Amino acid sequence: MPTIDGEFWGSASAILGLIAFLPYVYALYHKRAKPHCFTWFLWGLMMTIAFFAQVTGGAGPGAWITAMSAFAYTGIGLYGLLHGEKHITRTDWITLFFALLAIPLWYVTKNPLFSVLLISAIDVLAFVPTYRKSWTKPFDEPISTFAITAVALILSVVAMDEINMITAFYPITLALTDVVFVILLVTRRKVCLPVSQAA
């Protein structure tokens, strides 16, 4: 049964995760963000898988943010198909291919830990197109979304009824990739001009 503390931190994590998306939605509305559909589509898919794996592992309220994020990521992925990054490279296609190729391996395994390790690897791989895009276009992604999400993911671990490799490895991995991405954006923005200034 979820504890009161677990429900509190689970709620805080989910609410903070929702708040993290507000700057991104705002940027999308004003055409300031250009999500890479490959990344966000895969994230939505992996989040959905991770949610069920976490429930199986006993994450309890710690899985709430995963469910909320799965819905949000999928929505942004669909938006990206219509209005996101249009420059799709060969590397992006290769990344998508290998990420999707790994999904059947997850499906056939009966080991929740292997599933979590696999989807964590896929999720990191899914970040590659956005890392590549943001190296040259660091102003296309709002830093606050990824910084707040990293904090929310750490809180989700605190909220878990059972903290183990099955429940905690995935959100910790995502938090670390978000932190690295924030560092990349901050670093690249120091040497790149916004499109409006470069024009």
Structure tokens at 194: 């916004």
Q: Residue 5 belongs to what H/E stretch?
A: helix 4-29
88-97 average pLDDT score: 76
Q: How confident is the model at residue 186 (pLDDT cuts 50, 70, 90)?
A: very high
Per-residue pLDDT tens digits for 107-148: 777 677 887 888 788 888 888 888 888 898 898 888 998 999
What are the DSSP calls for 81-107, one per residue?
A: HHHS-----HHHHHHHHHHHHHHHHHH
Residue 187 pLDDT exceeds 90? yes
Helix, strand, coil content of the chain in percent (nearest 5): 80, 0, 20
Residue 27 pLDDT exceeds 60? yes
176-199 average pLDDT score: 80
Q: Cα(24)–Cα(167) distance, rounded to whole angstroms?
A: 27
Q: Cα(113)–Cα(54) distance, rounded to whole angstroms?
A: 10
- Non-local (6+) Cβ contacts of 13 within 8 A are 61, 62, 64, 65, 152, 153, 155, 156, 158, 159
Q: Cα(141)–Cα(56) distance, rounded to whole angstroms?
A: 33
Q: Cα(69)–Cα(149) distance, rounded to whole angstroms?
A: 10
- Predicted TM-score (pTM) of the model is 0.72
